Amino acid sequence: MEETRKIQELHEQNKHFLCIPRRPRWDKRTSPEMLNQAERDSFLEWRRRLARLEEEQKLILTPFERNLDFWRQLWRVLERSDIVVQIVDARNPLLFRCRDLECYAKEISPEKENLLLLNKADLLSEEQRCAWARFFQDEGVRVVFWSALEEARRLAEDSSQGSEAAQEPGLDEDHSSEEEMQTSSRHVERGPGALSWPPGNKERGSSEEEDSDVYEDCAEEEEEEEDAWLTCSEDEESRAPVGSVGQSRTDSPQSQRAAGPPQGQPLRNSSRLVQREELLEILRTVHSGRKVREGEVTVGLVGYPNVGKSSTINTILGKKKVSVSATPGHTKHFQTLYVDPALCLCDCPGLVMPSFVSTKAEMICSGILPIDQMRDHVPPVSLVCQRIPRPVLEATYGINIIRPREDEPPDRPPTSEELLTAYGYMRGFMTDHGQPDQPRSARYVLKDYVSGKLLYCHPPPGTDPQDFQLRHERCPLQSKAGQGEAGGLPGRSPRAKQIENVVDSAFFHQENVRALTRGSQCLMGNRAGGPSSATGAEDARGKPWKKHGNRNKKEKIRRITKHLEA
């Protein structure tokens, strides 16, 4: 504990060094060769500062992104965006949030707005979301709770219900607008361009529907768009404030609460899980200053890998426009897609920001590093065993984890070997030598942890982690002292024999121990009248060295020692 406290103090003292690289200043007179060389020099100096920090302070940094091309993608997204939406995992928002990214957006232009989108918020309970909403409200950060997969599932169910209702005989489509579910399903069927176009823009909307599949690649269109897009160093001061088409949409009370209060009023965050229409209203109304492009709000989605940036875009558009994958770092280039003529979404590749971390196991469990590429499975699985209680692991997988020995604390968490051995036996993951395949089992367990099947939510600072896990407290399967082999799993016969103390049981139940006495030989564990006692008494007394009762001398060793197996 003392060492951990010292490490945390060093993290607080040196956190101002954890900054993201800045793009050098440039204007129209800067040639591409000069800008390229300036970017390389600035990026090299940034990496040298981080290397000196690791060497001098003996601190461990996360394996941050060292490819300059990915940082160039981030620079262009920030310059093009009016709203910088930082998508984070709701289970651990502070790990995925980059404070310096918010500062850099304000350095580019004070007109830019920052928004924290907590994805996968459906894994949190209402009490947990309220705790995080109060924390960020005290920090002065605007947050929105959102779940891309849950919203996509809801939209798919609504569209299927709407299609089934439309196939019923005698159904009038004019009366279907009375139901909200069918209304939302028609939005999905009509496409993303029909969500909220203003009147009088139907012709423009039809052309946008045809061209919505075409996205802008930074490498191909940077020179063509150079005059059209504004940057941090030019044309911003010469532009007059221009109102946005979507600024008049302020009818939704949910969007007004989440978008932030007017000037002079304190910020209030809502813990409510928003839907797609509400999120679109928030994105249209949160920015009230002048835009980078006239009459258009550009929303840049940035963040760590595998936090759901591409999934959020697909859910907002109502169809698969961006390729998604469970492997972190699937998106390689930023893409721009139009929801309507007044709202543009810009998907940025996932970047691992430099931050302090104790071990790499935390990054693997958080989904930042690929699970299939890990080399040592013991640290991350041990971290899972420390966070997920034993009854939850047993109830989730239907396994019986071996109990602690008599000389160990009865409430200690299971080790990684105990969990993976029980899981491997249950799934049949065995090696060529007949042992459980622990690396293979570890990949399955860690993927379940990242996906939320094994749920652990980090609390805000100042909250007890054990009290914050409401789902673990409500689990009825708690281990009780004095229970049988089945533990806290009633109604299911044990799959394997559990031995509380293997050493003592093996020592006191040896069947081949002979008493050193003259006369008849006595075998521990043999019943009276068995094969050994059926030998003649005269042969035993006259020739004690003869082994007349050893009839199974050619028995296989694994059958003789079968009783020792757990």
Residue ranges per domain, the chain?
64-166+179-197+208-347, 361-500
pTM summary value: 0.66
Q: What is the pLDDT of residue 217?
A: 40
Burial of 302 (0-12, 13-18, 19+ CB in 10 A): buried
**DSSP string of 289-310?**
S--SBTTBEEEEEEESTTSSHH
Q: What is the DSSP letter of 376?
A: -
Residue type, 332: K
Q: Give the DSSP H or E segment for 143.
A: strand 143-145
Tens of pLDDT along the chain (566 residues) come to: 577 777 778 777 777 778 889 999 888 888 999 999 999 999 999 999 888 888 887 777 777 888 898 899 999 999 999 999 999 999 999 988 988 999 999 999 999 999 999 999 999 999 999 999 999 999 889 999 999 989 889 988 888 887 777 766 554 444 444 444 444 433 433 343 333 333 334 343 444 444 444 333 433 344 444 333 333 333 333 333 333 333 333 344 444 444 444 444 567 888 899 999 999 999 999 888 888 888 889 999 998 888 888 888 888 888 777 766 655 555 667 788 899 999 999 888 888 888 776 678 888 998 888 899 999 999 999 999 999 999 999 999 999 999 998 889 988 999 999 999 999 999 999 999 889 999 999 999 999 999 999 999 999 988 888 888 876 655 544 444 334 444 444 444 444 444 445 666 666 666 665 555 555 444 444 444 444 444 444 444 567 777 666 666 677 777 778 877 75
Q: Whats the size of the chain, residue-wise?
A: 566
Lookup: tokens for 476: 């009825």
Q: Residue by residue, what is the 3-state secondary structure of 71-125?
A: HHHHHHHHHHCCEEEEEEECCCHHHHCCHHHHHHHHHHCCCCEEEEEEECHHHCC
* CA 45 to mean position of chain CA atoms: 32
Q: What is the dihedral of CA 197, 201, 204, 208, to 10 degrees?
A: 0
CA nearest to 412, candidates 396, 421, 401, 398: 401
CA nearest to 399, candidates 420, 378, 416: 420
Lookup: tokens for 498: 């559990």
Distance CA 123, CA 129 (A): 10
Q: What is the pLDDT of residue 5?
A: 77
What is the strand order of the sheet 335-340 is part of?
A: 143-145, 113-119, 83-89, 297-303, 343-347, 335-340
Residue type, 140: G
Q: For residue range 82-114, what is the model confidence (pLDDT) as tens digits?
A: 999 999 999 999 988 988 999 999 999 999 999
Beta-strand runs (E) in 232-361: 297-303, 335-340, 343-347
Determine the CATH number of domain 64-166+179-197+208-347: 3.40.50.300
Distance CA 138, CA 45 (A): 35
Q: What is the pLDDT of residue 398?
A: 93
* Residue whose pair of structure tokens reads 């897609």 in the numeric block: 337
Lookup: tokens for 316: 């907002």
Distance CA 299, CA 336 (A): 9
Distance CA 415, CA 424 (A): 14
117: which strand partners? 87, 144
Helix (H, G, I), strand (E, B) or coil at 234: strand
Q: What is the pLDDT of residue 471?
A: 62
Q: What is the pLDDT of residue 292?
A: 87
335: which strand partners? 347
Q: Are strands 335-340 and 343-347 parallel, antiparallel or unpaired?
A: antiparallel
